[in-house]
Amino acid sequence: MAAPSAAGKDPWHFIVVRDPDMLQKIAEGLPHGKFVTEAGLCIVVCGDVERAHGRELSYLIQDCSAAIENLLLAASMLGLGSCWLGVHPREERVQFLRTLFELPPNILPISGIAVGWPSQHVPPRTRYRQDAVHFEKWLAQQAPAKNEI
Ligand SMILES: Cc1cc2nc3c(=O)[nH]c(=O)nc-3n(C[C@H](O)[C@H](O)[C@H](O)COP(=O)(O)O)c2cc1C
């Protein structure tokens, strides 16, 4: 909840799930999240559309995504493994979680975050692509020399 949010509306909610039966049910509704049953915990991140800046869906998603990334970073700082399990915008997954958690109509489930003790430690990595970085204008690909930055 330290993440930035548009106009400081903080529209996020977090459903903390530790019950193995509930983790099993979550797995049934998330085709790419079956392994959540092996995690100790799943945090379902939801957003309150009524609370988001201007009630705009895009702000809601951006705000919740910032909170989700913080959650992932915090987990890794604690030596935990975590994985973002996509929910929104897949309507069938949204509906599934709406029913499972008996969510009010204004609460939109955005993602599940599986958290657990990692079975292996992988070295830090980057997916840095120079061609995805643009200097001054889109087409100017030349990176400045280090002493020019
Ligand atoms: C919006 C979003 C949805 C995602 N959904 C899933 C998912 O359902 N299952 C999964 O295993 N990983 C999911 N991921 C994780 C990505 O697959 C993963 O971050 C990406 O493949 C890069 O892998 P890395 O983060 O291990 O480098 C999701 C990530 C994002 C941002």
**Structural domain boundaries in the chain:** 6-122
Helix, strand, coil: what percent of the chain each, to 5?
40, 20, 40
At 4, list the tokens. Answer: 């930035």
Strand intervals (E) in 24-106: 41-48, 81-86
Reported pTM: 0.93
Task: Confirm if 103 and 133 have CB atoms less than 8 A apart.
Answer: no
- Measured CA distances, 120 to 75, 80, 81, 136 (Å): 15, 11, 9, 41
Q: What is the pLDDT of residues 72-129, one digit of tens each?
A: 999 999 999 999 999 999 999 999 999 999 999 999 999 999 999 999 988 988 999 9
> Is the per-residue pLDDT at 141 higher than 90?
no
CATH of domain 6-122: 3.40.109.10
Q: Whose CA is nearest to atom 16 of ligand 1?
A: 84
Q: Ligand 1: which of 37, 73, 85, 115 to mutate, judged by most atoms within 8 Å of the beta carbon? A: 85
**Ligand 1 shell residues, CB under 6 Å:** 32-33, 83-86
